[in-house]
Amino acid sequence: MTDVTIIGAGVAGLCAAFTLCKAGLKVRLIDRNGAPGPHGCSWWAGGMLAPFCEGAVAEPAVVAHGQTAVPFWAGVTDVTYRGSLVIALQRDRGELDRFARRTAGHCKVDDIAALEPDLAQHKNALFFEDEAHLDPRNALSDLVAALAGRGVHIEQAEVRPDNLDGPVIDTRGMAANLSGLRGVRGEMVVLRAPDITLSRPVRLLHPRHPLYIVPRAGGVFMLGATQLESSERRGISARAVLELLSAAYALDPRFAEAELLETGADLRPAYPDNLPRVTVRGRVLHLNGLFRHGYLLAPALAAQAADYLTKGIKGDLVHED
């Protein structure tokens, strides 16, 4: 007997399934594409668990809820707990002061070489010690494995909440086609640069082309990400490649010699306040709108859905329709 059916096996659906399992519910998980892969936007994420940096622009709720991400993920997958570094080029150093004013949990770095020897040429940086990162694709497959260990296997089928009985959690992202939800296009690049070593995510503040670089195993780096108010579904644009690579080159000219492994483009589902929601419609809970905070906020969103279902607690991300 199933207690709750979850549609969608991206980061939102998997986190919800895992959280509800742990709360003792019997869960069914269905995705029209089966296991996570390039068809879902979770595949293209950076994997930064950086609530304090996000606070420069995002609402305080992102900073608060984002701090639950590390404990959640540490129980499931490898989390690298080495903080994050925010750098500005010499001519943009005013941006760094502004970033510092708008964020908490950082300190000014006097000796960048001590943290990241390969970035010694830079002069202006902030260090956010209590941040972390993970490899999103490993995190997804580790979650799938953890669920399998609890007897939950992803069923491949195209279903809609109306065709299912009992409580349903709908995490289909853009496919859910909810009112108020829009797509925000993001584009990314994956490089291999064995000569460069970074041990933590680095953000480059730039008034026009902000960039982050997340190191992954084997000399691989993820460069992201553009943010366009567009639902256009096509491959990365030449302009985005130019901008991302130019910014990386400004950070370390050796990126010019890197091997271009992969590019990606997808849509981030977002509500007007760019905060995720649990929208309650009868027996259906819609978990959606994770925007650029999938890995950062999916654990908190899942926890609020579970609290609502099992205890009737209405958290700040829950919206009763």
Nearer to another protein, 97 or 129 (CB): 97
Nearer to another protein, 59 or 158 (CB): 59
For the bound state, the minimum distance from the C-beta of residue 102 to another protein, rounded and expressed in Å, comes to: 6
How many residues bind to another protein according to rule CB under 8 A? 26
Nearer to another protein, 217 or 238 (CB): 238
Draw the binding track, 204-233, toward another protein (x: CB under 8 A; -: no contact). Answer: ---xx-------------------xxxxxx
For the bound state, the minimum distance from the C-beta of residue 100 to another protein, rounded and expressed in Å, comes to: 12
Applying CB under 8 A, does 183 fall inside the site for another protein? yes
Q: Is 23 exposed, middle or buried (0-12, 13-18, 19+ CB in 10 A)?
A: middle
Nearer to another protein, 34 or 235 (CB): 235
For the bound state, the minimum distance from the C-beta of residue 229 to another protein, rounded and expressed in Å, comes to: 4
User: Which residues lie closer than 8 Å to 54 by C-beta, 6 or more apart?
Assistant: 62, 63, 66, 292, 293, 296
For the bound state, the minimum distance from the C-beta of residue 227 to another protein, rounded and expressed in Å, comes to: 10
Closest CA relative to residue 107, chosen from 84, 123, 88, 133: 84
For the bound state, the minimum distance from the C-beta of residue 256 to another protein, rounded and expressed in Å, comes to: 19
Q: Which stretch binds another protein (CB under 8 A): 18-26, 56-64, 248-256, 299-307?
A: 56-64
Q: Which stretch binds another protein (CB under 8 A): 54-62, 84-92, 116-124, 192-200?
A: 54-62
Nearer to another protein, 146 or 275 (CB): 275
Nearer to another protein, 198 or 297 (CB): 297
Applying CB under 8 A, does 97 fall inside the site for another protein? no
**Cβ atoms within 10 Å of 104's Cβ, excluding its own:** 11
Q: Which stretch binds another protein (CB under 8 A): 31-39, 149-157, 190-198, 234-242?
A: 234-242
Contacting residue, 24, 218, 272, 312, with another protein by CB under 8 A: 272
Applying CB under 8 A, does 280 fall inside the site for another protein? no
Residues at the contact surface with another protein, assessed by CB under 8 A: 57-59, 98, 101-102, 181-183, 185, 207-208, 228-234, 237, 239, 270, 272-275
